[in-house]
Amino acid sequence: MADIVEKVRQVISEKLQIDAAQVTMEAAIVEDLGADSLEQADILFSLEDEFGIAADDTDEADGLKTVADIVSYLEKKVTAE
């Protein structure tokens, strides 16, 4: 699943125009990386497209606060597909 982590880091750094080194597993998307709610949604949509999945539970997606949360969410979704 290391490729999921790398792809998440890449997409977040591209969308937020920040250095990928800032995108650590512990980093909070809003507080630490400076994303607003629109950017946060854009990141999630881009990752869903990248992995060929769709968020079927918006409540679950709304709870994604850190990079680790997103990676965990994607790992569950990818293995369920």
Residue 31's Cβ-count burial label (10 Å; 0-12, 13-18, 19+) is exposed
Spell out the alpha helix ranges (H) of the chain: 2-16, 37-51, 58-62, 67-80
Catalytic, 19? Answer no
The C-alpha R_g of the chain, in whole angstroms, comes to 11
- The residue behind tokens 């409540």 is 59
> Residues 3, 36, 56, 59: which is the catalytic one?
36
Active site residues: 36
